[in-house]
């Protein structure tokens, strides 16, 4: 594998390929959300089973794949290289997507969604890690912003394709084909020189996942990174996913289709990721931008939960603005990548977004539990307050990583005792 030095251009091959990889990743995730119900109906599954049986199991199986894949690809990224993950993950979920289009029963569907989850887990973190290590520290925020902005727009493409292509099987074929085409572009991408240095020196602790938990300071650093993502998945997974129910509770004048609400939300996310990335570069701070956007999220959630008797267009507009307010996904993953040394960077950057996604079932359970004591809207407000408060505390206390030199490694001790982390030069 070739080695490369930092490129001064934010539109180098690594940024473009990582962006397109995340585009296909998000395309598949949202496509599955849109096609889950019609595909299961076509396979002969009853509505009852779709709502609470096989349909829910299908979601949980994919989530399990994302969590397992996050750990697997994270370890591979630090032990074998960032490019190994970029090639392996997209090959895996491209094959799984094509196989989804051939399933004839629920057993096969469950298996291939698990495999798709495994593959999808590695794309974003590996791309952000590679871009952060290749670009100069003054420009890497722009690079990661492009990755997230282009990537999230895959959701808009998925919504359009699902509406234009009448057969759900062909939608999966398109996703798989896009992934395989992207593999050809990745041949020209070079490995991170920082990873090559740690590999050549056989640096201790590369990809040691448990090292994130056996040291108090390192664990708290990792936990803060994960908590930063809680509001995004509350907004997308609760407020927008159940927008039809929230609209009914508030007496919105026209019925709301959750699919349309998701499309408006993701359109806002695209703009939000772009603006948060630019603002981060202007303010020369990741933390300040996180706190600004979390404050905006709190305001937007308040307006969303008070749309009593609103027109449909206003509801969709607020969904768009709500999506914009949680458009800090690029900043969130960049903070994770910049907070750890080269020997653990891919492990962190790949597992953090997947563990943040994995919080959604916990958030959903908390939302359901709150409804035993409060109204539907009050429960939404309570869970929103908890998620935003946790993320705000994490963003306030996390290290400022803008302009940080990433050419260092974490010292991993094998004594079994907690010790202070020392940052050793990788030079």
Average pLDDT for residues 378-390, to the nearest whole number? 96
DSSP 188: G
pLDDT of residue 156: 83
In the chain, the N- to C-terminal Cα span, in Å, equals 20
Give the per-residue pLDDT at 16. Answer: 87
Q: How confident is the model at residue 36 (pLDDT cuts 50, 70, 90)?
A: confident
Digit-coded pLDDT (tens) for 85-105: 988 998 999 999 999 999 998
Rounded CA-CA distance 171/30 in Å is 11
pLDDT, tens digit (0-9, with 9 covering 90-100), for 237-296: 899 988 888 999 999 988 888 878 888 998 899 899 999 999 999 999 999 999 999 999
Find the Cα–Cα–Cα–Cα dihedral 92, 338, 427, 420, rounded to 10°: -110
Distance in angstroms (rounded) separating the CA atoms of residues 63 and 41: 21
The rounded mean pLDDT for the chain is 87
Architecture of domain 8-410: Up-down Bundle (1.20)
Tell me the pLDDT band of 379, cut-offs 50, 70 and 90.
Answer: very high
Give residue 414's pLDDT band: very low, low, confident or very high (50, 70, 90): low
In this predicted structure, the answer to whether residue 187 has a pLDDT above a threshold of 90 is: no
**For residue 422, pLDDT beyond 60:** no
- Whole-number percent of the chain with pLDDT over 90: 48
d(CA 185, CA 52): 41
pLDDT of residue 9: 66
pLDDT in tens, 37-91: 889 889 988 877 876 678 778 888 888 899 999 999 999 999 999 989 988 998 9
Q: Using one digit for the tens of pLDDT, what is the confidence trace for 109-138?
A: 999 999 999 999 998 899 999 998 988 888
Q: What is the DSSP string of 116-143?
A: HHHHHTTHHHHHHHHHHHHS-TTTHHHH
Is it the case that residue 302 has pLDDT exceeding 70?
Answer: yes
Model confidence at 426, in pLDDT bands (50, 70, 90)?
Answer: very low
CB atoms within 10 A of CB 275: 17
pLDDT at position 380 over 60:
yes
Residue 24's closest CA among 86, 72, 68?
A: 86
d(CA 266, CA 325): 11
Q: How far apart, in whole angstroms, are the C-alpha atoms of residue 334 and residue 342?
A: 14
Question: What is the rounded distance in angstroms from the CA atom of residue 131 to the CA atom of residue 13?
Answer: 10
Q: Residue 2 pLDDT > 50, yes or no?
A: no
Q: Is the pLDDT of residue 232 over 80?
A: yes
* Ranges of each domain in the chain: 8-410
- HSE-CB for 92 with a 13 A CA cutoff: 24
Average pLDDT on 408-422 reads 59
| pLDDT, tens only, 154-181 | 888 888 888 899 899 999 999 999 989 8
pLDDT of residue 344: 92
């Amino acid at each position: 594998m070739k080695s490369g030095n930092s490129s001064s251009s934010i539109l180098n091959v690594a940024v473009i390929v990582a962006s397109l990889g995340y585009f296909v990743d998000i395309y598949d995730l949202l496509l599955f959300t849109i096609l889950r119900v019609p595909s299961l109906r076509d396979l002969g599954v009853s509505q009852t089973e779709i709502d609470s049986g096989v349909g829910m199991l299908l979601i949980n199986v994919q989530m399990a794949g994302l969590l397992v894949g996050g750990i697997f690809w994270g370890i591979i990224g630090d032990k074998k290289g960032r490019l190994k993950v970029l090639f392996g993950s997209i090959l895996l979920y491209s094959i799984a997507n094509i196989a989804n289009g051939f399933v004839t029963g629920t057993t096969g569907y469950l298996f291939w969604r698990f495999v798709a989850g495994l593959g999808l887990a590695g794309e974003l973190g590996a791309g952000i890690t590679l871009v952060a290590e290749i670009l100069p520290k003054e420009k890497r925020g722009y690079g990661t912003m492009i990755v997230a902005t282009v990537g999230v727009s895959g959701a808009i493409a998925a919504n359009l394709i699902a509406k234009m292509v009448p057969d759900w099987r062909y939608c999966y074929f398109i996703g798989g084909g896009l992934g395989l085409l992207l593999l050809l572009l990745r041949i020209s991408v070079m490995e991170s020189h920082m990873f090559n240095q740690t590999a050549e020196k056989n640096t201790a602790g590369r990809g040691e996942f448990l090292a994130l938990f056996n040291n108090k300071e390192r664990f708290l650093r990792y936990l803060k990174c994960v908590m930063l993502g809680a509001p995004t998945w509350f907004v997308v997974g609760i407020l927008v996913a159940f927008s039809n129910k929230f609209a009914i509770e508030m007496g919105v004048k026209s019925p709301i289709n959750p699919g349309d609400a998701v499309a408006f939300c993701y359109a806002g996310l695209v703009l939000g990721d772009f603006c948060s990335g630019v603002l981060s570069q202007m303010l020369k701070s990741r933390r300040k931008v996180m706190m600004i956007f979390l404050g905006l999220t709190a305001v937007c959630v308040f307006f969303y939960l008070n749309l009593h008797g609103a027109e449909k267009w206003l509801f969709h507009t607020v969904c768009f603005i709500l999506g914009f307010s949680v458009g800090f996904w690029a900043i969130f993953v960049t903070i994770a990548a910049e907070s750890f040394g080269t020997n653990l960077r891919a492990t962190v950057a790949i597992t953090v977004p997947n563990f943040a996604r994995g919080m959604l079932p916990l958030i959903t359970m908390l939302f359901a539990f709150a409804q035993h004591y409060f109204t539907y809207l009050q429960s939404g407000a309570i869970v929103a307050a908890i998620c935003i408060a946790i993320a705000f505390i994490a963003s306030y206390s996390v290290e400022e990583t803008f302009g940080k030199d990433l050419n260092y490694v974490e010292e991993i001790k094998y004594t079994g005792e907690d010790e202070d982390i020392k940052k050793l030069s990788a030079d």
